Amino acid sequence: MKRSSSHRLVAHGRTVAAGCVVLLMLVAGVWSSWDTAHHVVLSKGREHGTMTVTGCDGTTCTGSYVPDRDSPPRPRVTITKSVAVQKGDRFPVVVKPDTGEVVRTGTPGFLHAWVPFGGALLLSALVIGGGLRMSRLAWGAAAAGAVLLTATFIAL
Q: What is the pLDDT of residues 115-135, one digit of tens each?
A: 999 999 999 999 999 999 999
Distance of CA 63 to the CA centre of its chain: 23
CA distances from 65 to 1, 52, 89, 113, 143 (A): 72, 7, 12, 20, 37
The mean pLDDT of 57-64, rounded to a whole number, is 90
Mean pLDDT across the chain, nearest whole number?
91
Q: What is the pLDDT of residues 6-37, one digit of tens each?
A: 888 988 999 999 999 999 999 999 999 999 89
Domain ranges of the chain: 5-40+114-155, 49-104
Single-letter amino acid, residue 59: T
Report, at the CATH architecture level, how domain 49-104 is classified: Beta Barrel (2.40)
d(CA 133, CA 137): 9
Residue 124 CB contacts under 8 Å (≥ 6 apart), including other chains = 21, 22, 25, 26, 29, 141
User: Which pTM value belongs to this model?
Assistant: 0.85
Residue 1 pLDDT level (bands cut at 50, 70, 90): low
- Where is pLDDT greater, at 100 or 127? 127
Residue 55: HSE in the Cβ half-sphere, 13 Å Cα cutoff: 2
Give residue 16's pLDDT: 95
